Amino acid sequence: MVPDESAEQVPAAATVGLDPAERRLLAAMPLHAITSVHGEAGLRERLLMEVAQLPAADRERVGEALALASRLHARDRRQREPYANHLLRVTVRILSHYRVADADVTCAALLHDAVEDHAGELVPGGVREAAFAVLAGQFGERTAGLVAAVTNPVWEPGRDEHEQYREHVAASLEASPWARVIKASDFTDNAVGLIHTTGPRLSRLAGKYSPLVPVLRELILRPDTPLAAGVKDMIAAQLDSAAGRFAAIWHDHDAGSGPGRPSATGRVPS
């Protein structure tokens, strides 16, 4: 999509300086290709193109969400890139690949890690409930509720951290069909990101994410998930690919699928 002039309400940290032909290409490029070629500025430009379809008031609210996310995550890194790249890809994927034109969901996607990572910068003391209230006051109750649904819980001492994470994801997505949309994009970006991870962290993350694949796949394919049938099938296929990637990682690092290790289907054997 080519933005109209009013779409410039969404601020960008830098401009890519593309000519019209390059802008048309940017609109069709895979998100990780944009990241490699143009970096954060290119992803911001692609977001501009996608939100042009929204009403002016919604574009302004998305701009505010992007500005807040950029401030909160300004010093954060994700592997070898600014953390903002992850937030932008998650959001653009929802707008472009999932064909969702919803300002609440867009804002929640941009802010999906805000409370989990930076509650203390939203409210003194960093109390999560108060931080969600701040988001609700600025972006609305629905946006804040979606952020809450995809925010990982504070670790409970004595619990297996990954097991607690998976239980929370399954329960929160069961109750919130729109949160499934955000989590699917987030999960997809994280699964791709494993390609750029090395060392013990790679195997640890594969063990964290792999058992969630069949759970998320089943939730996405449910009738009440608010996505078109073709989009659901696309996400399911991507999750199947992720399961194979996780299984390969476990095979390389642990020489097989022993007790507690994911099988080739992404399931943990009982």
What's the pLDDT tens digit per position in 166-199? 899 999 999 999 999 999 999 999 887 676 666 7
The domain boundary, picked from 148, 171, 191, lies at 148
Measure CA 23 to chain center. Answer: 24
Domain identity same for 19 and 63:
yes
* 87/109 same-domain check: yes
Q: Are residues 138 and 188 in the same domain?
A: no
pLDDT of residue 256: 43
Find tokens 């609440």 and name the residue: 104
Same domain (yes/no): 228, 120: no
Number of domains in the chain: 2
Whether 56 and 69 share a structural domain: yes
Domain range holding 256? 152-270
pLDDT of residue 247 exceeding 70, the answer is yes
Q: Is the pLDDT of residue 70 over 60?
A: yes
Residue with tokens 């108060």, as numbered in its chain: 130
- Which residue from 247, 249, 242, 266 is spatially nearest to 197, judged by alpha carbons? 249
- Please indicate, yes or no, whether residues 93 and 179 belong to a single structural domain of this protein: no
Largest Cα span, the chain: 57
